[in-house]
Amino acid sequence: MKFCMHCGKEVKEQVKFCPFCGGDQKEVSATTSGEESVATSRITIDQESINQLADKGKNYFAYINKNIRNPILGASNQNGYFGVVTYLLLNVLIALSISHALGKNFSSTFSLELFLPLLLLFLVGQFVNVVAVYLLSNKIFKVRLNLVDTFERIYGPISLAIYGAIIMLALSFISTYGFSMLFVLFLVLIFFLISVSFVANLWRTENLSPNKNRFYWTIGALILAGIAHLIVNLLLSDMIGASIAHLFEEIIDSIFSSMFY
């Protein structure tokens, strides 16, 4: 069924001119065909993008499950950017869980105010670990290693932390008070896994420079990383200070309200 673009009356598909107003129908056919072609191509592209995203998601979770079953320290990177993805996803989930748990207790806006500063703090703080392993391996012990490989070495073996962070996020929604003992337990477990993987990768790094003493250089890297963490916390403390101060005000107000009312 086709309608004349000039008078709007129904005409046959094959006609070149409208029998009612004489309007040319070629333009209608070409335009309609072109629009249908563009729409079809867009749908095809969108479907391909969705399929590619779904495949990457399946591959990523297959990678996580494989590392949970058999975590390996110091393995060569055969998974591309999955280590970087784990680093980003883990920190987003942790920051979102903590900010939501706090906001659930005190105010609806507090979680949003705290999310970005917490995310930045965790991202920068853990990036210090990556840089420490990279510099010790690549610059001191002369092991060929790029930053992407370093992310894989630290975050590949602790893929279990991703599921822990997902559970922690769910607990922040389920728990009546946002925080719970189970929530804190998962939080401690995640940071324990991150710390263990960081320290283990420092000690397990192959030393291709015989004149560099592994023990002293590794201890030095740990000390410098600790100092860097302290500096990061000091620099970013102002960013989260206002939100933390707001939290304490909410706590004090709630305590006094419960005492006198």
132 contacts 224 by C-beta, under 8 angstroms? yes
Task: State whether 203 and 173 are in the same domain.
Answer: yes
Contacts 24+ apart (CB under 8 A), 108-117: 110/243, 110/246, 110/247, 110/250, 113/242, 113/243, 113/246, 114/240, 114/243, 114/244, 114/247, 117/236, 117/239, 117/240, 117/243
* Residue 75 within a domain: no
List the beta bridge partners of residue 3: 10
Last residue of a domain, one of 34, 67, 100: 67
End-to-end CA distance of the chain: 74
What is the average pLDDT across 183-201? 93
Query: What is the reported pTM?
Result: 0.72
* Residue 145 within a domain: yes
The total of structural domains in the chain comes to: 2
Report the pLDDT value the prediction gives residue 57, as an integer from 0 to 100: 81
Q: Which of 105-114, 134-143, 213-222 has the lowest mean pLDDT?
A: 105-114
Task: State whether 6 and 126 are in the same domain.
Answer: no
Task: State whether 120 and 35 are in the same domain.
Answer: no
Report pLDDT digits (tens) over 2-22: 677 667 677 776 666 676 666
**Residue 29 in this model has a pLDDT that exceeds 50:** no
Report pLDDT digits (tens) over 228-246: 999 988 887 776 666 665 6
Task: State whether 89 and 31 are in the same domain.
Answer: no
Report pLDDT digits (tens) over 165-186: 999 999 888 866 556 788 889 9
Pairing state of beta strands 10-11 and 2-3? antiparallel
* Residue 72 within a domain: no
Task: State whether 35 and 114 are in the same domain.
Answer: no
Mean pLDDT, the chain, whole residue set:
79
Q: What is the extent of the structural domain holding 225? A: 80-260
Task: State whether 158 and 181 are in the same domain.
Answer: yes
Task: State whether 115 and 229 are in the same domain.
Answer: yes
Contacts of 57 (CB under 8 A, 6+ apart): none
* Residue 74 within a domain: no
Task: State whether 37 and 122 are in the same domain.
Answer: no
